[in-house]
Amino acid sequence: MTTSSDGSTPPPGQPSLRTLPKAELHLHIEGTLEPELAFQLAERNGVVLPFADVDDLRARYDFSDLQSFLDLYYSCMTVLRSAQDFTDLAVAYFARAAADGVQHVEMFFDPQVHAANGVDAATVIAGLRAGFAVAEERWGISGGLIVCIVRDQPVASADALLDEIAPLAHDLIGIGLDSAEVGYPPLLFEDVFARAAGLGLRRVAHAGEEAPADYVWQALRLLEVERVDHGIRSIDDEDLLAHLATHRVPLTVCPLSNLRLRAVADLSMHPLRALVDAGVVVTVNSDDPSYFGGYIAANYEAVAEMGFDHRELAALAENSITASFADAARKAELVAAVREWVAAL
C-alpha cells in the first residue's frame, strides 16, 4: 500500500485518517517534547542539555528497548521548569492532535520526575490545566489528566506523591503506572492504587508492554484497573484474552511505540489484529509521539498498513471514545461523529 506514514495521503477515494474523530487515551505529555521546543525551554530556563543541537538530539532517537528510550526522555524533561513551560508543551501537542482529528485526550504526566527537577506537582497540574483550557476553547477538545506513578522509584515516593496530590485530586481524572516495567510488577503498588481509588481517581496501568501477561493479570486483580496501557503481551495467554474480551477491558495500544522500542520486530508481527480477532476492545494511541516517529494519525496509518480498512479503523476510533472516561453525553456526541464519518465513506 502506498500511503504516507503521517496519515496525510489517503488511498484514492478515501478520506484522510486525520479527519476520523478519535480520542487519545495513552499519551505522555512529556513524550510530545519536540527537540526544537526542548532547546527553546533549555535557553529560557538556563538548563544545559547534554546534546550539541536539535540534529544531535534527534540523531539519538534510535532505541534498543524501553530503558534506552526512558534514559533520553528523562534527560530531556529537565528543561521543563515553570507552569508556563507545561502550558506551552501542552498547547503545542494539542495543535498537532487537533490536526489529527483528536477530540478528547486523557493525558499522562510524571510528577516524580519533575520533583527531582525542583518542580512540584501543583505547578505541573496548573500548567497542564491551562493547556486544556486553551485546547477546549480553540479546538473543542475535552479530556483531563492522569497522574502516573514512576514504578522504578521507591513505593514510598509514590505514597508521598499521593499525599501531595490528595488536595488536588478533583483536578485529575485518574492514576496510572509507567516507566521501566520488568522487575517492577504491579503488585508493588496495590496499596497506592487502593488509596488513589479512595481519592476518587480512575485506575489504569502500563502492563504487558515488555513484561509478560502475568503483569496484566496483576494490574487487573490487584490494582483493579479499568484499562490496560499497552497490554500487547496478553496475546500469550488465552485465558487473559478471554477475560479482557468478556469484561470489555480496553487496551491502549501504541503501534509506533512498540516498533521503535522493539517490542515487535516489524508491524507485520504486531499482535493488534489477533487482539481484535480475540474480541478485545483495542484502541490506537501515540504514547510518546515526538520520540516514536509519529502522532496519532500516523499510528492509525500504521494500523492501516497492517491491513485494517477504513471501517475497521473507525471501529477502533469508536472504541477509543467508549473506552474513555468522558461523560455519557460527550461519548454519545463523539460516537455520532465517528458514525457520520463512516456514513460518508
Q: Which residues bind ligand HPA (CB under 6 A)?
A: 28, 31, 66, 178-179, 206, 209, 257, 287-288
CA-wise closest residue to 232 among 204, 262, 253: 253
Smallest CA-to-CA distance from 155 within 189, 179, 185, 196 is with: 189
C-alpha cell at 30: 512529556
Which listed residue (209, 210, 301, 318) is catalytic?
Answer: 209
- Tell the smallest beta-carbon distance from residue 231 to ligand HPA (Å): 12
Nearer to Zn ion, 210 or 287 (CB): 287
The entry of ligand HPA, Zn ion, none near residue 209 (CB within 5 to 8 angstroms by kind) is ligand HPA
Which of Zn ion, ligand HPA, none lies near 88, with the C-beta cut-off 5 to 8 A by kind?
none
Closest approach, Cβ 296 to ligand HPA, in A, equals: 15
Pick the closer one to ligand HPA by CB: 209 or 301: 209
Closest residue (Cβ) to Zn ion? 287
Q: Which does 233 bind (CB under 5 to 8 A by kind): Zn ion, ligand HPA, none?
A: none
Nearer to ligand HPA, 178 or 301 (CB): 178
- Which segment (115-123, 143-151, 283-291, 323-331) binds Zn ion by CB under 5 A? 283-291
Alpha-carbon distance of 216 to 63, in angstroms, equals: 24
Inter-CA distances, 22 with 133, 195, 220, Å: 19, 31, 25
Q: Is 209 a catalytic residue?
A: yes
**Cα–Cα distance measured from residue 211 to residue 93, given in angstroms and rounded to the nearest whole number:** 29
Q: Enumerate the β-bridge partners of residue 102.
A: 22
Spatial distance between the Cα atoms of 310 and 145, rounded to a whole number of angstroms:
30
287 binds Zn ion (CB under 5 A): yes
106's contact among Zn ion, ligand HPA, none, with CB below 5 to 8 A by partner kind, is none
Q: Specify whether the CB–CB gap between 208 and 232 falls below 8 A.
A: yes
Cα angle, residue 229 at apex, residues 270 and 23 outer, rounded to 5°: 90
Half-sphere exposure of 139 (CA within 13 A, CB side): 23
Which is closer to ligand HPA, CB of 290 or CB of 320? 290
Residues found near Zn ion in the complex (CB under 5 A): 287
Q: Which residues are catalytic?
A: 209
